[in-house]
Structure 1
């Protein structure tokens, strides 16, 4: 049902006007932008951005750029502080924003604030970044879609439907030209003899960390911040039981905690292969692998097996030999697992927003089935 009375606008305690700096919109020189800023009438040939003012939180925020090319609502850190909010008020979640030319910027976190637009109050999530910008806030597609806004840069207006009829928000063309005038000021200070050196991304350099346990060492990235590097160097020696340099170091899980058993269908016939003969060289490879697994307690010898399968020897690209077991027939006899491993996109999403990632590289340290 449509409310009988239209809600009153929320009161705002502050007015956030201006932050210096910014990006190019139209024109090429500071003098041209200054000349455009003097023109107060809206011309048919205008190329100004759509800049508006909105109540956000308990403040009236000016210089808000409406950008339907942005996939996120962005708020500058200076704007957050001028609103009387602290960094502790936002959720510490670091994500990567990618520009049209591929440049990246890491966010400091995100915050959800009420945004009021012509009697419609919505809770919008803002990504916080620490840059000097002409605009206080950039309203992207999330806000445009949630409010079902039709923006027109040509007509300098936003229109959207409400329970009380169609509403509109007019853009401030003078403010848009002033923003552009401000962002072009650094161009005047450019010196022609300055050369730009392109940065080349090189592979990460690794540094060894001595765990004070003989020759056992771990590698960390060299370009870590001094604080993170010092914390890692102090932390890693306290967790030596988490590392496994040999099979003997893998303690395994107590069977009283969890035990994995194969759910073999009893209606299937067991497969027992005849013993396959190998050359002397391959026999040595197989015996060495079995002795190592027996010593680590990963396998054990059984008598009168119900299933019997010969091992296979596979040579890796690095020249080493890998001992494998073909369990094709056994897999056919087991019902399909209704809970497979998570998809790679789920794993990527779960790690997004974190600055550090700990993972295990088991390319040559697992027992392949």
Structure 2
């Protein structure tokens, strides 16, 4: 039926004949004599049913797209790309973050965490490589399952063994400590060293699909937990091909055990050759994998259910520990440590921090290089109003204490490029590892060592100097992003320190030439002389 040239009355009569269910109920509910023309009917129909149209989707909706435990990477990428097409004006960064957020832990997610992509095309190219690897692996498993082997020929079997001898890796019981994780060593040497192929492992049913071994190329255990890979790496170490990854050098390759587990990361202190004080231009002030975060959360919710802690020594503080300290203070504990064979001053002891921070300016002053950094995928919070993106992290041997009463640990420092009055920040992770007890009234900390209790005293004058610098950092317009470390919830404000009004004049009020202060340049006569004399009489307070 064609109603192009029909009148409004005919069109109004014919239009409801196409209605079904909900539309009929809507039409019956219209008041009598409420439709004056067909256009009027069309407008009311659209107004009543336009809400049924699909709502506009936005970028946050991508966070709800997760890769299933049994879902292939190809299927996940297709679902994610289809969802991106429904979002208008989607930024590249938002698409990349949504994709990474939904990935299941595996080889592709590890690759993305190690090297963050800069464009979505790069993500697609890298994903295609892992899709091909995943499908080839599944194709191989399917062919093994469906293929029925003919009767074995004993002579053929013996010839095959002679032609292709398979050497099983030797099993070791003790392993040499490494500076980096096992998976990092494997990724470095898999393309440069000759590594034997993995042994055939029967398919395990019910294995954990969140753990993937890059060496065996199967699910069920992570690369760091792979015993076959540990034996392969240990053999390379005995052959002297992994010296750059060793945590300590050894004179005898067969000696691998140390007396205590806690002493593995410790080294005898060396005589420092350098001193790091003020950095010119200002100081730059979970684990990484998802599985480590999950383990940490499990430990959080099982507080009090673990094993009983070992007996700790008795540590006390006396009046002698507070000698030379101005009482009634609110100063922080600022100490000196030995880091990278240098006396590193301006080290802030922060019991509220969960990370050990090394600021970029100190990193450069110590002569370290950025190629030594490993990727750190998360942001840091608490160093200002905005989250901080770290440059990476690295392990450095750090000595606390002096002479025999000292301990040396291998600490993972997170390097950040922000301004600070401190060289480094020591968090509660290291303090707990040292079993440190901090006393802020005494401005010192103590911890046990094999030779007795070690005491490290803080520098009160330096602590106040650093705090004043933190307040003034906000006025430096030439630096990069500036953040002040908040001590006892006190924010840096310009109005906390009054500024002189008008011109000033410098006058000497002591015997030394650098003992000077400023007075108003407009003062004249007796008032000026009386003020200068008063300042000289009290020079210990004003200069």
Classify the TM-score, shorter chain. 0.3 to 0.5
Which protein shows a greater Rg? 2
Higher helix share: 2
Q: Which has the higher strand share?
A: 1
TM-score by length of 2: 0.29
**TM-score (norm: length of structure 1):** 0.43
